[in-house]
Amino acid sequence: MNALEDRLTELEVRLSFLDDTVAALNEAVAAQDRTNLRMTAELERMRAELVALRTGLSHDAAVEPPPPHY
């Protein structure tokens, strides 16, 4: 019976370490997901800013007054 108890104890110890590892990995994945969400939001903000800059810098001849010789 002693060998069986030793094996059971070993399995319990391994399970405990596995539980700790899974919890640590879960936290790492959650942190990475939060970082990805922040980065995606920042990218979208920068994309919108770039579109606004391009629109502001574009040359539209229709909004300019005619040259003085007309």
Residue 70 CA to residue 4 CA, distance in Å, equals 103
Q: Which amino acid is at 52?
A: A
The domain segmentation of the chain, as residue ranges, is 28-52
Report pLDDT for 61: 66
Q: Give the DSSP letter of residue 36.
A: H
pLDDT, tens digit only, all 70 positions of the chain: 799 999 999 999 999 999 999 999 999 999 999 999 999 999 999 999 999 988 888 776 667 777 788 5
* Predicted model pTM: 0.64
